[in-house]
Amino acid sequence: MEQIYNFSAGPSVLPKSVLEKLQQELLSYQGLGMSVMEMSHRSSHFEEIIKQAEQLLRELMDIPENYKVLFIQGGASLQFSMVPMNLMNKHNHAYYVNTGSWAEKAIKEAKKQGEVSILASSKDQNFTTIPSIIKSDIEPNTDYVHITTNNTIKGTRFTEIPDTGNVPLVADMSSNILSETFDISKFDLIYAGAQKNMGPAGVTVVIVREDLVGTHQEDLPAMLDYETYAKAGSIYNTPPTFQIYVTKLVLEWIKDLGGIEAIEKMNHDKASLLYHYIDQSPLFSNHVEEESRSLMNIPFTTDSEELDQEFLKLAESKGLISLKGHRSTGGMRASLYNAMPLEGVQTLIDFMKEFEAKHQ
């Protein structure tokens, strides 16, 4: 089979060894004569899987004991609603930092639950930078501050986690969880859809300080209440069993590679290689301010729609797939998640050089 490098922003590339293990175990998991998809979520086998997934995540991310780890369905988009439903309880107010489309979607949902103030925004800069957050702008009579640690569409990331003092900090970490080390104690709630750095679409991880669980608005439906998941070890109803299993395998893969510190180094190497090439290229450019550049999602363009189209078409014919930029921005975007090997980035750069030489 031709070598394919998949630069999709999500769902995205998974480690090959994980896929091979899944293939081996698909018909009979641990000699049981059935796959993980077919077993009861209340079986001891699945209980062991979910327990291990949680333990691995705790170990890799160094999650303090006073945080709950929850596995929820509905994607990061459901968290746009669940966060305010559960946390906007004392002041009916929260601050949001607007760094792009996903933050805007989170803001839109939060406004349905209470009052929202924009603490900082990079909208005027077309979201090509991360705005500065001034601690003294945060009034204490608020429920939380919400940030998006990595902005998948525009390719920006927070390189410094803001200090919000006693006000809880909530983060949408969907597109850079497990890609670099974070001090979890700086956050009070983190959520992330699995389909970029953790596993397949269908499971969302929520890491929440335990004293924030159970303080929600009145009459919250059980499935929208963090407490339901916390009390039942995420097995209140049928969880996305196979997705949790694949996530466990991805976490084992990260551990075997040396943990998040090792992955972070690889991610810096991969991203620097591509940024370095783009920055000196007379043809391609990346419009993100240098200090705010993402390690995971790198948008680039020739600044000609026609050439971008030609590039995408040719790239695909060479096995470099899903490089099309988000429909709102156009151009190209290379997503270099954990499972993208260095050779993939090198192959992309070689192809870009070839394309550049032909279009000088």
Contact window for ligand PMP (CB under 6 A) among 16-24, 25-33, 171-179, 336-344 = 171-179
Q: Does 109 bind ligand PMP (CB under 6 A)?
A: no
Smaller CB distance to ligand PMP: residue 128 or 174?
A: 174
Q: Cβ(219)–Cβ(94) under 8 Å? A: no
**Site residue total, ligand PMP (CB under 6 A):** 11
Q: How far is the CB of 193 from ligand PMP (least distance, A)?
A: 3
Check binding of 12 to ligand PMP (CB under 6 A).
no
Toward ligand PMP, which CB reaches closer, 39 or 107?
A: 107
Tokens of 335: 């997503």
- What is the bridge-based pairing of β-strands 189-193 and 67-72? unpaired
SS (H, E, C) the chain: CCCCEECCCCCCCCCHHHHHHHHHHCCCHHHCCCCHHHCCCCCHHHHHHHHHHHHHHHHHHCCCCCEEEEEECCHHHHHHHHHHHHHCCCCCEEEEEECCHHHHHHHHHHHCCCEEEEEEECHHHCCCCCCCCCHHHCCCCCCCEEEECEECCCCEECCCCCCCCCCCEEEECCCCCCCCCCCHHHCCEEEEECCCCCCCCCCEEEEEEHHHCCCCCCCCCHHHCHHHHHHCCCCCCCCCHHHHHHHHHHHHHHHHHCHHHHHHHHHHHHHHHHHHHHHHCCCCECCCCHHHECCCEEEEECCCHHHHHHHHHHHHHCCEECCECCCCCCCEEEECCCCCCHHHHHHHHHHHHHHHHHCC
Q: Check residue 73 for interaction with ligand PMP (CB under 6 A).
A: no
Task: Give the catalytic positions in this structure.
Answer: 102, 172, 196
- Tell me the residue number closest to ligand PMP, measured at CB: 75
**What is the chain's alpha carbon radius of gyration, rounded to the nearest angstrom?**
21
Task: Using CB under 6 A, pick the residue from 35, 52, 73, 77 that binds ligand PMP.
Answer: 77
Q: Is residue 102 close enough to count as binding ligand PMP by CB under 6 A?
A: yes
Q: Does 76 bind ligand PMP (CB under 6 A)?
A: yes
Paired with 96 in beta bridges are: 118, 146
**Shortest approach of ligand PMP to residue 283 CB, angstroms?**
28
Q: Is 335 in the site for ligand PMP (CB under 6 A)?
A: no
Does residue 75 interact with ligand PMP by CB under 6 A? Answer: yes
**Least Cβ distance, residue 70 to ligand PMP (angstroms):** 15
Q: Which stretch binds ligand PMP (CB under 6 A): 12-20, 70-78, 112-120, 261-269?
A: 70-78
Instruction: Establish if 11 lies at the interface with ligand PMP (CB under 6 A).
Output: no
Judged by CB under 6 A, the stretch of 63-71, 167-175, 206-214, 278-286 that binds ligand PMP is 167-175
Taking the complex as a whole, the smallest distance from the CB of residue 94 to ligand PMP amounts, in Å, to: 17
x/- contact string, 206-245, with ligand PMP (CB under 6 A)? ----------------------------------------
Q: Measured from the CB of residue 297, what is the shortest distance to ligand PMP in angstroms?
A: 8
Provide the greatest CA pair distance for the chain. 64
User: How near is the Cβ of 147 to ligand PMP at its closest, in Å?
Assistant: 11
237 assigned to a ligand binding site: yes
> Which one-letter amino acid corresponds to residue 221?
P
Does 152 interact with ligand PMP (rule: CB under 6 A)?
Answer: yes
Q: Does residue 172 bind ligand PMP (CB under 6 A)? A: yes
191 binds ligand PMP (CB under 6 A): no
Paired with 191 in beta bridges are: 172, 206
The two tokens of residue 29 are: 């998991």
Report the binding-site residues for pyridoxal 5'-phosphate: 76-77, 102, 152, 172, 195, 237-238
Positions touching ligand PMP (CB under 6 A) are 10, 75-77, 102, 148, 152, 172, 174-175, 193
